[in-house]
Amino acid sequence: MKNNTNELCAVSDSALSTVKPKYTVRQHDEVWELSIEVPGSKKNDVDIAYEDGILDVRVRRSDDIPDTWRPINFVERPREYRLCLDVPESIAADKIEAKLKEGVLHLDLPVSEAVKPLAIEVK
Amino acid sequence: MKLARYHNSPVTNPLSGLDALLGFPSTGLSPLWDIATRLSNVPWDRVVMGQGAPSLFEDDENYYARFEFPGVKKEGVAVELTGNQLAITVERGEDNVESRSVTVPEGVDPEKVGAKLADGILTVTLGKLEAQKPRVIKVK
């Protein structure tokens, strides 16, 4: 799975408001597991789109700082995470499943039945 | 989540000697310390092991330190305050242990330290000692 460099998906480095999140991909025979680090986000903050082989994941951050807190040292946080990946044709895009747990978005990308390795029985 | 408190090994502000020389009081977030960290844009925490410096906030009652720990369950987090050294140890699995240690402002009440983990963000609340809280003085 490659990073997509499509202009629409481009994340500008200068603008801290949207950043590319850290992610890992684990490839298994049946399913690819994609984990994306999105601390500070809730289920309703997640938008996942798939079109023309591009998986576009946008996650807003909703961990607001209370108004009464005065910053002593404020480490700038992104407002949104965005990750675009080229998904190979072997992935059954209509069967992608996602869940958000402890600030990590987990996506299961199942491999299409057609390309799964076949075990051929010897008769 | 484990929460341990120690009172016996005070960690001093590295600039406290200078502060004393210049006649600044030695309690609380010293003026020099404060100015130095703000001007130089040096993170407030002097000792950070691993990635990700915390953000630090305050209100009249507490200091608040916020760390990002995506993918960590609360059972895997230990918070320890020794003097004004706040140590966070995070366990993600057998061989995946991460430690972060930061110096917090002086004047924290060790009896009033709490921690909350939500959506991969750990917020440590450090209650201020009475002497650190702003006082309203009535004009007679």
Q: How far apart are CA A76 and CA B1, in angstroms?
A: 27
Bridge partners of B98? B90
3-state secondary structure of B49: coil
Give the number of other CB atoms < 10 A from CB of residue B84.
19
Q: What pTM was estimated for this model as a whole?
A: 0.71
Which one, of B107, B111, B93, B105, lies nearest residue B5 by Cα?
A: B111
**Nearest-Cα residue of chain B relative to residue A37:** B70
* Statement: residue B114 has pLDDT above 80: yes
Q: What is the DSSP letter of B61?
A: S
Give the tens place of pLDDT for each residue, A42-91. 999 999 999 888 999 999 998 888 999 999 988 878 889 999 999 888 88
> How far is the alpha carbon of A98 from chain B, nearest alpha carbon, in Å?
15
* Statement: residue B44 has pLDDT above 90: no
CB distance B69–A39 less than 8 Å?
yes
Amino acid identity for residue B45 in this structure: D
Nearest to A102 among B37, B44, B72 (CB): B72
**Interchain CB contacts (distance < 8 Å): A and B:** 76
3-state secondary structure of A51: strand
Q: Note whether B115 and B123 are within 8 A (CB).
A: yes
The order of strands in the sheet holding B77-82 is B2-6, B77-82, B85-93, B96-103
Output phi, psi for B51, to 5 deg: -95, 155
Q: Note whether B111 and B104 are within 8 A (CB).
A: no
**Nearest-Cα residue of chain B relative to residue A73:** B56
3-state secondary structure of B55: strand
CB distance B56–A71 less than 8 Å?
yes
Q: Note whether A103 and B68 are within 8 A (CB).
A: yes
B73 touches chain A (CB under 8 A): yes
Amino acid identity for residue B32 in this structure: L
Nearest to A73 among B43, B72, B117 (CB): B43
Bridge partners of A23? A36
What confidence score (pLDDT) does residue B48 get?
Answer: 34
CB distance B63–A102 less than 8 Å?
no
How far out from the chain centre does Cα B27 lie? 15
Q: What would the mean pLDDT of A3-22 be, rounded to a whole number?
A: 68
B28 touches chain A (CB under 8 A): no
Banded model confidence at residue B120, pLDDT cuts 50, 70, 90: very high
A-chain CB neighbours of B59 within 8 Å are 66, 68-70
**Nearest-Cα residue of chain B relative to residue A74:** B55
B56 touches chain A (CB under 8 A): yes
Torsional sign, CA B3, B9, B10, B12? negative
* Statement: residue B2 has pLDDT above 50: yes
Which one, of A71, A83, A85, A78, lies nearest residue A14 by Cα?
A: A78
Higher-confidence residue of A53 and A35: namely: A35
CB distance A74–B64 less than 8 Å?
no
